[in-house]
Amino acid sequence: ILGHMDFGGTFFGGVNTGMTSMLTFAKLPRICGADTVVIPAPYGKAEILDERYEQNLKALRFPLQHIKPTLPMPSGGITPGMVEKCIKEAGKDILIGSGGGIHSHPDGPTAGARAFRQAIDAVLQGKNVKQVAKEQKELGVALGEWGSGKTKLIE
């Protein structure tokens, strides 16, 4: 069961709403039986504080009676250049949610998927992603297009 963050910002976006992002994105979906939950990542396009993101990650995994942990899916404007930061902060046991970072690759979605795989493999093998991008065309194009910084929204 996949829990998705659509409309979640309306619950925790304001200071007077009475709900936290941890309750909206982590505790409630986990208690309801979600196997994985899409959570906004602060280095993507989502407006969420780093510490709130970290709280969400912890709430999906900490011991909670008989309830199993839920697999986090950091998402929201994640591109191949963010994979290293994503894995460093959230760990290896995650799903990385990406739509535009795959489908908007200049060479098409197949190249976008390859770029992600190349970035993931580089990180898991302890290699420098920027160095690997010099040898792997798809990753090189992705880093050239988006870099590794926060996603810029089109205005």
Q: 């899916």: which residue's tokens?
A: 73
Instruction: Look at residues 43, 38, 98 and name the one whose alpha carbon lies nearest to residue 72.
Output: 38
Tell me, what's the pLDDT at 142? 96
Whether the CB-CB separation of 75 and 42 falls below 8 Å is answered with no
| pLDDT tens for each residue of 52-88 | 899 999 999 999 999 999 999 999 889 999 999 999 9
Distance CA 90, CA 26 (A): 14
Q: Is the pLDDT score of 138 beyond 60?
A: yes
